[in-house]
Structure 1
């Protein structure tokens, strides 16, 4: 079934591109790659009343990316394609649920799943319109790429860099494909569907060291949101630098949907302010980070998909429940300084307090993460990367699951042309 789907999709894409192949820029500027991602994940649920003792799965992912150049002329046209295939290597009904593999009502993980995304694009000067499958990484909408296959959105997005130092984005997202799914579903938040999410905003480089960002977003009939951000890099001397990354959201309810089914406090109301930021000191091979967040007002922080734009978006938890205050301490080290290029280390600790839900007042959550990653530098395995991730997550007052988690990810990207 998947072979027929991919063959038909390839033939269809070729028929779309055939009239354009006479244009040199369209062909010469095109590129394609195949990413292989082998993913093992074990999640051990530690609380005594856990409905499932363990989630344990192993899968292989294939991600084909094809990007054309643009035809010649005042308006250049092109097309991109994204093909995704996930294959089960080991899983079971009792151990499903890591986010690597989808499963249906039978609770049995599928043997394989796939997704094909096509994107038409047009360019005028430094302004590009893309319609179809999108992978935005914006403060108000971001795709998720921390499991076997990346999630995607469907819609239209205009990105312009015609004004010097300014990048603008205006778009509408109408569908979403989650990381462990073959379907394109309605935009939604907290179990309530929406026809679309509109967004507009951009980033202006005030100087080479300082950038300011503003975005407005509205998920129809659910919420509207404003974002302001500042990123500043301050050189402090030889091998020393301080980065400040400050982010602020103002989110208000839009429409009269009932979000209480998702255990939101205050009758499901969305009316909050979310500040979060990170200071990172770089000293040679070392990085020392300190982060803080304050989420005030009513309800959880609202965002599409799975990834909020927060410094406390970490391995297991996102720390966006109502009223959550949290701080983070982080340390990174690059072993190239010891003569081992390609080897990096990261550890961090996040502590969240004053958490509110429909059943918990003044709860606490904390998480400790450790990452060790290595990219082979030479030889027949050059550019193969191996990442070991370990996380411990705990919460009080029955907020959510207590988890010990291990991930092993082996990846390699092959340039096809």
Structure 2
């Protein structure tokens, strides 16, 4: 069922009127609203023997409305944001479901005709610190929302972001609900099929020099795991149009609440007690980028994270390469066709190869994935801003792991600014 969604301009007026007696110049003047349209076709062809279905193939239209207010004037400023999302089925069936574009009935297995979400966020600003409570879409090393299907996922909770000191950004928060990318419901935080009351996080990043940024975060999913993260990002300018970027990430994760996690351990093949290093170095030369990445996941259990997006350089189109003991390397190449006089056209290809993969049933498994993206964004004319992305992925696993997938996606996106 689609929930009735009012227009964003009317919503902004209603919100503004609620602050009677408070100066609203900045609240209204700094407000923005836009509609994001995404049309997506996805075809996932299962090539392994005894696959549960021959293919997953769906086509759908997504619409996202975003309203972000400014803050009221004064020492303490108040504001509100709103997010409205709706997904509409264009083509699917019971035997072609489960691409992640559309939800489906757990009993009937029939894809839903439509689904929607409405999220509101209250915000408060004091100096250079902002507290947001309600619907959130964080992009942090220990928790990140997903935006690779029709609609983006969301979390519910509170998040404080402070930038009182130049170069230093601090974050602290508690998240207690998650709404997945193909869902209309706010579910409990969970990992490995075990629910948690909440996820707490704290940390930040500091710009040590104009070219070097260090970060540290701590997160704890209540009664399941606790996690430390440290990262470094360095950019080295080697000459005109030439630079070298290095992105290093390290996680140390352990259990929190042994009793509750035991049921999750049966799903994930072991306890949570691991170290996860991953990083990538990218050389940019004019319109070209050459990247090399590496990861090492050691210890017990899979790498733990909320949602579907781990903070890893090997989070690619189909796989995330986060199973226990996984060692993997990546080679990547990007090209911007503006270098040939075609602005808006870009190409990317990458290859990830993994070994030593462990599950409850397999030791020493192997995995590899090859991805190719071609995207064009119209630069002028009546179609200005419209982007078309063609995405291809091939995934294979062996040595006891039996998955073989060929995948294609066609994605059309357009953003309309309302004010």
**TM-score normalized with structure 2 length:** 0.96
Describe the superposition over 1:358-392 as per-residue Cα deviations: whole angstroms up to 9, x where unpaired: 00000000000000000001100001000000000
Alpha-carbon distance in structure 2 between the residues aligned to 1:360 and 1:13: 55
What secondary structure is seen at the aligned counterpart in 2 of 1:231?
strand
Alpha-carbon distance in structure 2 between the residues aligned to 1:226 and 1:195: 20
Alpha-carbon distance in structure 2 between the residues aligned to 1:216 and 1:51: 39
Alpha-carbon distance in structure 1 between the residues aligned to 2:273 and 2:114: 41
Q: Which residue of 2 aligns with 1:285?
A: 287
Alpha-carbon distance in structure 2 between the residues aligned to 1:276 and 1:259: 28
- How much does 1:232 deviate? 0.1
Q: Choose the corresponding residue for 2:138, options 130, 136, 139.
A: 136
Conservation of the 8 A alpha-carbon contact between 2:284 and 2:290? yes
Counting only pairs closer than 5 Å after superposition, residues 95-106 of structure 1 correspond to structure 2 as 95-104=96-105, 105-106=107-108
6-15 or 207-216: bigger deviation: 6-15
Conservation of the 8 A alpha-carbon contact between 1:40 and 1:58? yes
Conservation of the 8 A alpha-carbon contact between 1:160 and 1:168? yes
Alpha-carbon distance in structure 2 between the residues aligned to 1:262 and 1:70: 48
Alpha-carbon distance in structure 1 between the residues aligned to 2:268 and 2:81: 39
Q: Choose the corresponding residue for 1:350, options 339, 349, 352.
A: 352
Q: Structure 2: where are the runs of 5+ without partners?
A: none
Alpha-carbon distance in structure 2 between the residues aligned to 1:108 and 1:54: 15
Conservation of the 8 A alpha-carbon contact between 1:224 and 1:251? yes
Counting only pairs closer than 5 Å after superposition, residues 44-55 of structure 1 correspond to structure 2 as 44-55=45-56
Output the aligned Cα RMSD. 1.5
Alpha-carbon distance in structure 2 between the residues aligned to 1:342 and 1:9: 30
Q: Which residue of 1 aligns with 2:267?
A: 263
Counting only pairs closer than 5 Å after superposition, residues 53-64 of structure 1 correspond to structure 2 as 53-64=54-65
Conservation of the 8 A alpha-carbon contact between 1:38 and 1:411? yes
Q: Choose the corresponding residue for 1:301, options 300, 303, 307.
A: 303
Describe the superposition over 1:90-135 as per-residue Cα deviations: whole angstroms up to 9, x where unpaired: 0000100000000012110000000001000000111000000000
- How much does 1:48 deviate? 1.4
Q: Does 1:90 align with 2:91?
A: yes
What secondary structure is seen at the aligned counterpart in 2 of 1:27?
helix
Conservation of the 8 A alpha-carbon contact between 1:259 and 1:269? no
For this pair of structures, how many residues does the alignment match? 414
Counting only pairs closer than 5 Å after superposition, residues 194-273 of structure 1 correspond to structure 2 as 194-256=196-258, 257=260, 258-260=262-264, 263-265=267-269, 268-273=270-275
Q: Structure 1: where are the runs of 5+ without partners?
A: none
- How much does 1:20 deviate? 2.7
Q: 1:354 to 1:77 in 2, by over 3 A?
A: same
Q: Does 1:67 align with 2:68?
A: yes
Alpha-carbon distance in structure 2 between the residues aligned to 1:339 and 1:259: 57
**TM-score normalized with structure 1 length:** 0.97
Alpha-carbon distance in structure 2 between the residues aligned to 1:313 and 1:193: 24
